[in-house]
Amino acid sequence: MATKTKKLTPLTGDQAVAEAMRQIEPDVVAAYPITPQTEIVMTFSQFVADGKVRTEMIPVESEHSAMSACVGSQAAGARTMTATSANGLALMWEIVYIAASTRLPIVMPVVNRALSGPINIHCDHSDTMGARDSGWIQIYSENAQQAYENTILAMRIAEHKDILLPVMVCQDGFITSHAVEGIELFDDDIVKKYIGEYKPVMPTLLDVDNPVTYGPLDLQDYYFEHKRQQAEAMKNAISLIPDIMAEFNKTFNRKHDLIEEYKMLDAEVAILVLSSTAGTTKAVVDDLRNKGHKVGLIRPEVFRPFPKQRIIEAASKAKVVAVLDRSDSFSSQGGPLFDEVKSAMYDADKKPILVDYIFGLGGRDISMEEIEGVYKELLDISKTGNIKNQINHLGVRE
């Protein structure tokens, strides 16, 4: 069933996410404002004030408190959401792990922003990449339309009975969160039907007939088993998310997938990158294709769980692949996305040459000319086999 053709509504990425939250109408939203996420909870709180949703909005004194309230709310059986950025995510750190460990399907839009210090309010991925092993599923959005859609999609992923893990829906701070786009909003009724009524799978704190304890002391006797269950849930997620996406695509006439391949069928070289930079890269691909160069793009939409097999299939088509990382792991081995791709390609029958470009830290712009320069370097490597530097810093003053 497809939605009717609708007039596009001019919205920022933050406003688009707030609209998705309005349509989902969670039972509870507990949140604290932080740039560049503030507009999400500000817009949603206005929906609450105007009576457009019946959500219990809880303004708290910090992000640590926000996630703590979300854990309590979700454990009590309420569908729960929040939103944050950067230092706010860092302040949640302790409770972020607890939310995942207790298998609570909280959905949290995260507007990516550089994690201090020095303090910076602009985009890079250091915040969510720092939380990549916290047990949360992570989805990265190329534009505001995707941020809107992924927020709706995330609720179905999180609440699936064989997943039951919290989900971060990421978009680039200011680049997509504050820029205005024409957004196609789905019909409220169709979204509500797609999301459905929340029916907790596990006993809740308010289920007096099945009393449970959340967050108990968990020592050597059972902790290991609980961690294994988390790992199995993430393993289930990588198998189930494509089916959940397929249902979403059928319902809303969309094309979500674990990864997107752009002009990769005959690509000799490719760039692999997350989020909004993929859009700029597509324009460069089109230009270089018109000049006769066989270049392509790979954009992972889901980063956790990591779509290993799909990455292998896509990257193996090219001779040389550049991974563009908008954060550094400070391991001297490149950025976190590069590390994941390099590890995945160990099991590939056909291994392309891999190079890493760390870029855009603290919101520094990346230009089409710089991306074209990367492609030209890749084309040179494909001809000569010579790599000058496997790990590069693009657009930095050396």
Return the CATH number at 196. 3.40.50.970
The reported pTM is 0.97
Query: Does 146 share its domain with 41?
Result: yes
Residue 215 has what pLDDT? 85
| Residue matched to tokens 């910076």 | 120
Residue 4 has what pLDDT? 52
Query: Does 179 share its domain with 282?
Result: no
Residue 314 has what pLDDT? 98
Q: Is 379 helix (H, G, I), strand (E, B) or coil?
A: helix
Q: Is residue 2 part of a domain?
A: no
Query: Does 225 share its domain with 345?
Result: no
Residue 37 φ then ψ, to 5°: -90, -20
What is the domain count for the chain?
2
Instruction: Report the side by side order of strands in the sheet with 137-140.
Output: 56-59, 28-31, 80-81, 107-112, 167-172, 137-140, 302-304
285: which 2 tokens? 């691909």
Query: Does 184 share its domain with 57?
Result: yes
Q: Domain range for residue 16?
A: 9-252
Distance of CA 159 to the CA centre of its chain: 17
Of 235, 252, 269, the position where a domain reaches its end is: 252
Q: Is residue 315 part of a domain?
A: yes
Q: Is residue 3 part of a domain?
A: no
Q: Where are the alpha helices (DSSP H) in 102-180?
A: 126-130, 144-159
pLDDT by residue, tens only, the chain of 398 residues: 455 557 899 999 999 999 999 999 999 999 999 999 999 999 999 999 999 999 999 999 999 999 999 999 999 999 999 999 999 999 999 999 999 999 999 999 999 999 998 999 999 999 999 999 999 999 999 999 999 999 999 999 999 999 999 999 999 999 999 999 999 999 999 999 999 999 999 899 999 999 999 988 999 999 999 999 999 999 999 999 999 999 999 999 999 999 999 999 999 999 999 999 999 999 999 999 999 999 999 999 999 999 999 999 999 999 999 999 999 999 999 999 999 999 999 999 999 999 999 999 999 999 999 999 999 999 999 999 999 999 999 999 97
Q: Is residue 87 part of a domain?
A: yes
Contact partners, residue 205, CB within 8 Å, separation at least 6: 72, 75, 76, 77, 212, 214
Count of all residues that appear for the chain in the document: 398
**Dist. CA 234–CA 383, nearest whole Å:** 40
CA-derived radius of gyration, the chain: 21
Query: Does 290 share its domain with 388?
Result: yes
| Residue matched to tokens 């089409």 | 368
Query: Does 349 share its domain with 286?
Result: yes
Q: Is residue 214 part of a domain?
A: yes
Residue 294 φ then ψ, to 5°: -90, 85
Query: Does 111 share its domain with 45?
Result: yes
Of 194, 218, 252, the position where a domain reaches its end is: 252
Query: Does 168 share its domain with 284?
Result: no
Of 183, 218, 252, the position where a domain reaches its end is: 252
337-346 per-position pLDDT tens digit? 999 999 999 9
